[in-house]
Amino acid sequence: MIHRTFGILAGAIALVALFAGVAEAAQPQPWQMDLQPAATERMAQIIDFHNLLLVIITAICVFVLGLLLWIMVRYNARANKVASKSTHNTLLEVVWTIVPVIILVVIAIPSFRLLYFEDVIPEADLTLKAVGKQWYWSYEYPDAGDFSFDALMLSDADAAAAGEPRLLGVDNRVVLPVGKTVRLIVTAADVIHSWAIPAFGVKIDAVPGRLNESWFTPLREGIYYGQCSELCGARHAFMPIAVEVVSQERFDLWLEEAKQKFASDDAPRDARLASAER
Ligand SMILES: [Cu+2]
What structural domains does the chain harbor? 2-119 (1.10.287.90), 126-261 (2.60.40.420)
Residue 176: CB atoms within 10 Å? 25
* Calpha distance 186→50 (Å, rounded): 26
The SS3 assignment for 49 reads helix
* Res. 204: pLDDT tops 60: yes
Distance in Å, CA 232 to ligand 1 centroid: 5
Percentage with pLDDT > 70 across the chain: 86
Q: How many Å lie between the centroid of ligand 1 and the Cα of residue 198?
A: 16
Rounded to the nearest whole angstrom, what is the distance from the C-alpha of residue 136 to the centroid of ligand 1? 7
CB 239 within 8 A of CB 136: yes
Ligand 1 centroid – CA 190 distance (Å):
10
Q: Are strands 182-188 and 193-197 parallel, antiparallel or unpaired?
A: unpaired
The full DSSP string for 200-258 is GTEEEEE-BT--EEEEE---S-EEEEEE--S--STTGGG-EEEEEEE-HHHHHHHHHHH
Q: How far is the CA of 25 from the centre of ligand 1 (A)?
A: 24
Q: Looking at residue 178, what is its pLDDT?
A: 95
What does the pLDDT read at residue 31?
A: 92
pLDDT at position 263 is: 79
Q: What distance in Å separates the CA atoms of residue 164 and residue 262, rounded to the nearest whole number?
A: 22
Question: CB-based contacts of 62: which residues, under 8 Å, 6+ apart?
Answer: 2
Q: What is the pLDDT of residues 105-152, one digit of tens each?
A: 999 999 999 999 999 999 999 999 999 999 999 999 999 888 999 999
Whole-number Å distance, alpha carbon 133 to ligand 1 midpoint, is: 7
Query: Ligand 1 centroid to 47 CA: how many Å?
Result: 25
The pTM assigned to this predicted structure is 0.80
- Over range 153-178, report the average pLDDT: 94
Residue 33 has pLDDT above 50, yes or no: yes
CA 40 to chain centre: 11
Helices and strands in the chain, H and E counts = 6, 10
Report the pLDDT value the prediction gives residue 86, as an integer from 0 to 100: 86
In angstroms, the CA 151 to CA 167 distance is 13
Nearest-angstrom CA–CA distance, 124 and 273: 36
Q: How far is ligand 1, taken at its centre, from the CA of residue 227, in Å?
A: 8
- Checking if the pLDDT of 21 tops 80, the result is no
List, for residues 61-106, the tens digit of each pLDDT value: 999 999 999 999 999 999 998 888 888 999 999 999 999 999 999 9
> In the predicted model, what is the mean pLDDT of the chain?
88
Q: How far apart are CA 132 and CA 129, in angstroms?
A: 10
- Is the Cβ–Cβ distance between 124 and 108 less than 8 Å? no
Pairing of the two strands 212-216 and 202-206: unpaired
pLDDT of residue 146: 85
Angle of the 90-119 helix axis to the 41-74 helix axis, nearest 10: 160
Residue 268 has pLDDT above 70, yes or no: no
Per-residue pLDDT band for 172 (boundaries 50, 70, 90) equals very high
Give the closest residue to 126 by CA, choosing from 278, 251, 268, 271.
251
14-28, 154-168, 230-244: range with lowest mean pLDDT: 14-28
Band (pLDDT 50/70/90 cuts) for residue 189 is: very high
Dist. CA 161 → ligand 1 center (Å): 25
Predicted confidence (pLDDT) at residue 4 exceeds the cutoff of 80:
no
Residues 181-201: what's their mean pLDDT? 96
